[in-house]
């Protein structure tokens, strides 16, 4: 029986686990693609959508990866038509992550026709040598060309993903990339420092002493990112996320974020429920966290038998989940208005984490008043350490 519309889950993440080749820094679950594998994935994903559709009324949809734009037109059309049949479109925000090498006018038009209204483009750098070093399959020219295709296809909400502190990247190169990215006038910018994950080529090179990490330079690059994006009309609303436009209020909330903020991610950071479909995806629905197999073969086999490919699921004790939500939410510049946190978790931050909040305020990492608690500029730099204090 279908869940009553008012209580259905309003956020859907779909993982597309294929990439043309593996980037040097990447530890995400993804694998090299072939036409037949992706056809099998497409059929399995549609089956998984059919299983959960009655419990979904998406306000936000996000296809991430992997490289979702690697799917060809026919595969995309099958997925989007199936979603239409299942009554899943109509989302306020529908994002597809794209690699600049795999965007075409036909694909962009198909996306628009089926309600996709936001594209997140994995640019990473606009320096040809660094793109090579990262193992990216696209060139800087492809970034500009794909951006133009997206704009002429009617996309008015585009995110650019950039990376900084890449080995051999100087401040001059970073500034040049930032300047060119700002000139593109996207509505959103995400930017992360390179991290060295075990079992990646970049980590092996670091271990072998091929380069060293310059933390001071990384800090300066982060500061440059903040000042350049602010000068160019972006507002930082999360550690690594910047968006344009006037502020708007989230329903029932006192905190404000820019209107072009990624609503899908804001739902994560605010502790909202979401379904996660596709190999390795995690979802969180009504107190239960479920994770799919990080193995496409197992994923296909389970779905071909008509059941979801869930590897593990656990019901989180409410206080533990509240701690996680506190930690996630502190990544946002707005921090946590106490009333908002209570609405999301049924716990009062001031009762459960008072000493932790005081400890962070004493260190200069956080600020607290009668209404809210938030990390300061300095605290945001150390958000991961600050967040650990809230985990139970």
**Which CB sits closer to ligand SF4, 65 or 283?**
65
Residue given tokens 């946002």 in the structure block:
332
Cβ nearer to ligand SF4, comparing 80 with 202: 202
Report the alpha-carbon distance of residue 336 to residue 329 in Å, rounded: 6
Binding positions for ligand SF4, 93-112, rule CB under 6 A = 99
Residues 389 and 129: their CA atoms lie apart, in Å, by 40
* CB-nearer residue toward ligand SF4: 135 or 233: 135
Rank residues 20 and 86 by Cβ distance to ligand SF4 and give the closer one.
20
State which of residues 12, 23, 119, 375 lies at the interface with ligand SF4 (CB under 6 A).
23
Give the interface segment with ligand SF4, choosing from 59-67, 167-175, 290-298, 377-385 (CB under 6 A): 59-67
Q: Does 241 bind ligand SF4 (CB under 6 A)?
A: no
- What distance in Å separates the CA atoms of residue 280 and residue 299, rounded to the nearest whole number? 9
Asked if 30 touches ligand SF4 (CB under 6 A), the answer is yes
Q: Which is nearer to ligand SF4, 15 or 374 (CB)?
A: 15
User: Among 42, 67, 159, 169, which residue sits at the site for ligand SF4 (rule: CB under 6 A)?
Assistant: 67
Measured over the CA atoms of residue 263, residue 264, residue 265 and residue 267, the dihedral's sign is positive
Q: How far is the CB of 318 from ligand SF4 (least distance, A)?
A: 33
Of 89 and 201, which CB lies nearer to ligand SF4 in the complex structure?
201
Q: How many CB atoms lie within 10 A of CB 224?
A: 15
Q: Looking at 21-29, 41-49, 178-186, 287-295, which segment touches ligand SF4 (CB under 6 A)?
A: 21-29
Structure tokens at 368: 């607290």
Q: Residue 28 interacts with ligand SF4 (CB under 6 A)?
A: yes
How many residues bind ligand SF4 (CB under 6 A)? The answer is 11
Binding flag, residue 66, ligand SF4 (CB under 6 A):
yes
Percent helix, percent strand, percent coil in the chain, to nearest 5? 45, 25, 35
Q: How far apart are CA 237 and CA 50, in angstroms?
A: 35
C-alpha 272 chain-centroid distance = 14
Task: Give all strands of the β-sheet with 372-375 in edge-to-edge order.
Answer: 336-337, 372-375, 366-368
Rg from Cα positions in the chain: 21
**Residue (of 344, 349, 351) closest to 366 by Cα position:** 349
Which one of 14, 16, 19, 181 is in contact with ligand SF4 (CB under 6 A)? 19
The smaller minimum CB distance to ligand SF4, of residues 99 and 345, is found at 99
User: Minimal distance in Å, beta carbon 32 to ligand SF4?
Assistant: 10
d(CA 54, CA 361): 45
Regarding 26 and contact with ligand SF4 (CB under 6 A), the answer is yes
Which residue number, 128 or 314, has a Cβ lying nearer to ligand SF4? 128
Stretch that binds ligand SF4, among 23-31, 86-94, 148-156, 268-276 (CB under 6 A): 23-31
The single residue listed with the structure tokens 């936000």 is 60
144 scored as a contact of ligand SF4 (CB under 6 A): no
Ranges of beta strands (E only) in the chain are 9-16, 18-19, 31-32, 56-65, 93-98, 118-124, 158-164, 188-193, 235-238, 241-243, 247-249, 256-258, 275-277, 282-285, 288-292, 310-315, 336-337, 366-368, 372-375
- Minimum Å gap between C-beta 101 and ligand SF4 is 10
Q: Does 125 bind ligand SF4 (CB under 6 A)?
A: no
Q: Which residues bind ligand SF4 (CB under 6 A)?
A: 19, 22-23, 26, 28, 30, 65-67, 99, 122
């Amino acid at each position: 029986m279908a869940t009553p519309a008012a209580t259905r889950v309003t956020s859907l993440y779909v993982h597309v686990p294929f990439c043309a080749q593996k980037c040097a820094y990447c530890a995400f679950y993804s694998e090299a693609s072939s036409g037949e594998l992706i056809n099998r994935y497409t059929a399995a994903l549609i089956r998984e959508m059919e299983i959960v559709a009655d419990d979904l009324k998406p306000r936000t949809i996000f296809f991430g990866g992997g490289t979702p734009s690697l799917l060809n037109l026919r595969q995309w059309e099958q997925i989007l038509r199936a979603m239409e049949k299942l009554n899943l479109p109509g989302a306020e925000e529908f994002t597809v992550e794209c690699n600049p090498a795999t965007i075409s006018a036909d694909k962009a038009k198909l996306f628009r026709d089926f309600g996709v209204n936001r594209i997140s483009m994995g640019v990473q750098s606009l320096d040809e040598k660094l793109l090579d070093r990262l193992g990216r399959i696209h060139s800087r020219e492809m970034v500009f060309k794909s951006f133009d295709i997206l704009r002429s296809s009617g996309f008015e909400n585009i995110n650019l993903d950039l990376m900084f502190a890449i080995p051999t990247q100087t401040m001059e190169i970073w500034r040049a990339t930032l300047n060119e990215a700002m000139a593109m006038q996207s509505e959103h910018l995400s930017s992360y420092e390179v991290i060295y994950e075990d079992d990646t080529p970049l980590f092996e090179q670091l271990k072998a002493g091929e380069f060293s990490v310059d933390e001071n330079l990384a800090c300066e690059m982060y500061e440059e990112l903040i000042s350049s994006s602010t000068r160019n009309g972006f507002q930082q609303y999360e550690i690594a996320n910047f968006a344009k436009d006037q502020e708007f209020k989230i329903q029932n909330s006192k905190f404000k974020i820019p209107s072009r903020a990624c609503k899908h991610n804001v739902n994560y950071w605010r502790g909202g429920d979401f379904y996660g479909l596709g190999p390795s995806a995690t979802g969180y629905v009504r107190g239960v966290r479920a994770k799919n197999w990080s193995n496409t073969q197992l994923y296909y086999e389970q779905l071909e038998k008509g059941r979801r490919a869930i590897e593990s699921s656990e019901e989180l004790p409410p206080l533990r989940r509240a701690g996680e939500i506190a930690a996630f939410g502190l990544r946002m510049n707005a921090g946590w208005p106490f009333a908002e946190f209570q609405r999301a978790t049924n716990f009062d931050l001031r009762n459960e984490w008072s000493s932790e909040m005081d400890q962070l305020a004493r260190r200069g990492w956080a600020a607290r008043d009668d209404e809210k608690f938030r990390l300061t500029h300095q605290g945001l730099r150390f958000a991961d350490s600050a967040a650990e204090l809230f985990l139970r």
